[in-house]
Chain A
């Protein structure tokens, strides 16, 4: 195979590249070892990086709603369905419990994507709670944590 011709590079060009590479590694290390999610793109690789014990309680957050015709439905927490994902709602669980009106974002997202459905009258933040016993799944129950009556 023909040997490729090698392009030229200046000392300065090499120096700044080396400096940027070392600075990048330092940022990644610092962010990962000392930072939080706030430091993205140099945040720690924290997804699934915690250690649940064998008797842990696993919580899945859901949002349920009652329509104007009395029907009770789940507002699936996916961007395509309610305009927001479950992880994003879960990150704000305490805020929503303190101020249930924050559920208006989910209501607005769901309503915009379901114009043909009856209006939502009330919504609930519900936690599906599964307990582990010796690392094995045990009972699951549904616990309402907040509710908000949608203004007319």
Chain B
């Protein structure tokens, strides 16, 4: 097998480098060279979130496994002939998830622990979604778990000084999955339109009374104050719909423009929390794939250095104590 040095986009473009071909540009877009340290931090965040998730978000598989009368397996379970949930099965998945996530969060055994966690979490979540309710806040997160292990061992972990297309590909896949969550939400609204016989209608969802419907069903905080103003709520629907539809642009933003977009979407989610208590936390964690997490290391070093300086200063200060 030929080993070639990566010739795609580089963090600091070299003016003497020849212009890459279209194929190289496409490959370079899907697998940009990015710091491995960023991936090491993202792994830690994602795997720790798995532990949080199974205790706070998709926490019902253990409870649901006691009675399977309402269990309706997803296509995934049928394809892989997964057995119906039972107490021994979900408890095994639980232990595997906790142990595997802690190992993977430390960037240890990234491939073995990572793929085991990905499979176990997909199964666990599929069980939680096999009783009639499927949430779409986990799509990007599941894709993140399946791609994170592919970059393999990162030498130096959070202190790695290397960059690679392997890490860049993982980060790009997660970024695409995050944005797909928004964009495909908009296309689904167009697809569903006004229901059977009225599908593929562009404006029907935005002109509907979905937010009134949602607030009546989930009376929460600010939502209750907005309920008497259906026209204002429709305006908000248009705003959200257009934002989702144009979200694809985020994949090409850089620097300050990307920061503004990220802040906008964080604000969007904060707003849905205040009116409906819907948070999309798993997708929010995946937003970290856009963040320059590699800067955490110098920042942590500075904080640690300052603390040591203070401690050292106090110890050598004869007037202290």
A residues near B, CB below 8 A? 2-14, 17-18, 20-21, 24-25, 28-29, 32-33, 37-54, 56, 58, 60, 79, 83-85, 87-92, 95, 102, 104-105, 108-109, 112, 130, 132, 134-137
Contacts and interface: CB of A to CB of B under 8 A. Distances in A.
A95 B70 CA distance: 9
Given A17-B169, A92-B132, A102-B70, A7 B192 contact: no
B136 A47 contact: yes
B163 A46 contact: no
B163 A6 contact: yes
Contacts of B6: 6-9
A52 B30 contact: no
B29 to A, nearest CB: 10
A133 to B, nearest CB: 11
Interface stretch (B59-67, B259-267, B300-308): B59-67
Given A17-B31, A21-B172, A41-B76, A52 B188 contact: no
Contact of B5 (A3, A8, A47, A95): A8
A58 B176 CA distance: 35
Contacts of B70: 84, 88-89, 91-92, 95, 102, 105
Nearest to A21: B30
Interface string B193-208: 1110000000011011
A75 to B, nearest CB: 14
A17 B11 CA distance: 20
A18 B131 CA distance: 35
B27 interface: yes
A90 B133 CA distance: 9
Counting contact residues on chain B (CB < 8 A from A), the size range is 35 or more
A38 B184 CA distance: 16
A14 B21 CA distance: 15
A52 B217 CA distance: 13
A28 B174 CA distance: 13
Ranked 5 nearest A-B pairs via Cβ:
A91-B132, A51-B208, A7-B164, A135-B230, A87-B133
B317 interface: no
16 contacts: A5-B162, A7-B6, A10-B3, A14-B31, A14-B165, A17-B30, A40-B134, A41-B76, A41-B122, A49-B185, A49-B189, A52-B208, A54-B230, A60-B216, A84-B63, A108-B66
Interface stretch (B82-90, B94-102, B137-145): B137-145
Contact of A4 (B31, B150, B163, B188): B163
Interface of B: 1-6, 10-12, 26-27, 30-31, 33, 35-36, 59-60, 63-64, 66-67, 69-70, 74-76, 122, 125-126, 129, 131-136, 138-139, 142-143, 150, 161-166, 169, 172-173, 176-177, 180-181, 184-185, 187-189, 191-195, 204-205, 207-210, 212-214, 216-217, 227-228, 230-231, 234
Given A12-B1, A45-B185, A85-B60, A51 B194 contact: yes
B63 A40 contact: no
B2 A5 contact: no
A6 B151 CA distance: 14
Contacts of B207: 51
A58 B213 contact: yes
A32 B187 contact: yes
Given A18-B30, A21-B172, A88-B133, A28 B59 contact: no
Contact of A41 (B31, B139, B162, B210): B139
A10 B31 CA distance: 12
Contacts of A29: 184
Given A28-B177, A79-B63, 13 more contacts: A7-B165, A14-B27, A17-B166, A17-B169, A24-B143, A28-B139, A40-B74, A45-B181, A50-B192, A52-B212, A56-B213, A89-B70, A109-B67
B184 A44 contact: yes
Contact of A33 (B131, B139, B163, B191): B191
A21 B169 contact: yes
A142 B169 CA distance: 53
